[in-house]
Amino acid sequence: MRIYLITGLKRKILKVMRFTLVLTIIAILLVQLVGILKGTGVYNREEIPNGNSMKVVSPVTDACGEDERTHGLENILEHLLKYLQDKK
């Protein structure tokens, strides 16, 4: 009876040790993969801006007026058509 209990306990211990070994190998491979991705630049975490938060949240100034923003593409097309007509 003791031999049966000892062999059963030995098998359970070996099973746990094998499972632990497999988990360790998987963890090492994942760490290696993350290191490779960080090295190649594929894995880029966006940095949270440091410093004065008021500067980060400040509004963006307008570079063009309201009419230029709404009719900008139309003006560009008109200039292009005039240029093409003058070229002929």
Q: Using one digit for the tens of pLDDT, what is the confidence trace for 34-68?
A: 888 887 776 555 665 566 555 555 566 666 666 55
Q: Is residue 11 part of a domain?
A: yes
Q: Is residue 31 part of a domain?
A: yes
Instruction: Classify residue 59 as left (phi > 0), alpha (psi -120 to 50) or beta.
Output: beta
Mean pLDDT, residues 7-22 taken together: 94
Q: Is residue 53 part of a domain?
A: no
Q: Is residue 88 part of a domain?
A: no
Q: Is residue 71 part of a domain?
A: no
What pLDDT was estimated at residue 6?
A: 84
According to DSSP, residue 51 is labeled S
Do 87 and 79 contact (CB within 8 A), yes or no? no
Q: Is residue 84 part of a domain?
A: no
Q: How many domains does the chain have?
A: 1
Q: Is residue 73 part of a domain?
A: no
Q: Is residue 74 part of a domain?
A: no
Alpha helices in 1-88 (DSSP H): 2-40, 53-57, 66-87
pTM for the whole structure: 0.43
Residue 34, domain extent = 1-44
- Report the C-alpha gap between 27 and 25 in whole angstroms: 5
